[in-house]
Amino acid sequence: MLSLHVITGIHCRNRLDRILRVAEPDFEWVAQKYIERPLLVYGTKIDLRQHFLITDWNPLTIWFYKDSFIRFSSQPFTVECLDRSIHVCNNAIQRHLKNASYRNPHLPEENMWHSDEFQYYLRSIGKEHVWDSIIIPGMKRALIHAVQVAQDTIRPRKNSFDLYGADFMFDKNFQPWLLEVNFKPDINKDTSVMTVLIPPMIESLLCVLIDRKTDPDCDVGGFELIYKQVSASQGQNLSYGYM
């Protein structure tokens, strides 16, 4: 699902009649199966925002940013209550809510971690290997496949680029599941984590877009080329480093 970064119209329902009740006939809706047993951190649901860059649609060229951020719900997880304060981790919603007083004190007040902090947490529970062996490869595969599906609907424009924010959930086995891809993702520095993450990402983006025009081997900071397709007219695809 491709969307802007403003969250609207999200409903959690557990019965068909309740789903049909909120699905207004004049609008198009997307129904997604909920992950009832997601990965929890200190008893709280999380999701991950991953930025990626497309510098060409033909040949399709995808760059993956090395850092990301984790978002937390303000309330402990339960499937007994379907309120979106529990189930929707997006900062546009959570920043307007008060954190539950009884939730784990190790959770961040701003409901956000840098991916480095998440990796530290994984090490603390003896799962440090899952970041490089499951999470990162799984996210790269999902993004490449999602963009390939959309490629034929996009009109290629030379000398342009698109920065996207992909949202992932994780199941209890640390497998990432793509929720949606956001066009024009929020890059405001409105939390301490965003203040650390966004400036170097923008600097790296400029290296990819500008410096590589004169020096193809230049340092591109935190971006990694994960997929480059040969021209569609040649009828063959090549990809790099995502398996």
Q: What is the pLDDT of residues 193-227, one digit of tens each?
A: 999 999 999 999 999 999 999 999 999 999 999 99
* pLDDT band, residue 157 (cuts 50/70/90): confident
> Does the pLDDT of residue 1 top 70, yes or no?
no
Percent of the chain with pLDDT over 70: 90
Rounded Cα–Cα distance for residues 223 and 61 (Å): 12
* pLDDT band, residue 28 (cuts 50/70/90): confident
* pLDDT band, residue 8 (cuts 50/70/90): low
pLDDT given at position 4: 44
> Does the pLDDT of residue 81 top 80, yes or no?
no
Mean pLDDT of 60-74: 96
Q: Cα angle at 10 between 8 and 15, to 5 degrees?
A: 155
Q: Which residue has the higher pLDDT, 186 or 140?
A: 140
Give the predicted TM-score (pTM) of the model: 0.85
Rounded Cα–Cα distance for residues 189 and 40 (Å): 26
Rounded Cα–Cα distance for residues 21 and 147 (Å): 32
Q: Where are the domains of the chain?
A: 36-234
Tell whether domain 36-234 is in CATH 3.30.470.20: yes
* pLDDT band, residue 133 (cuts 50/70/90): very high
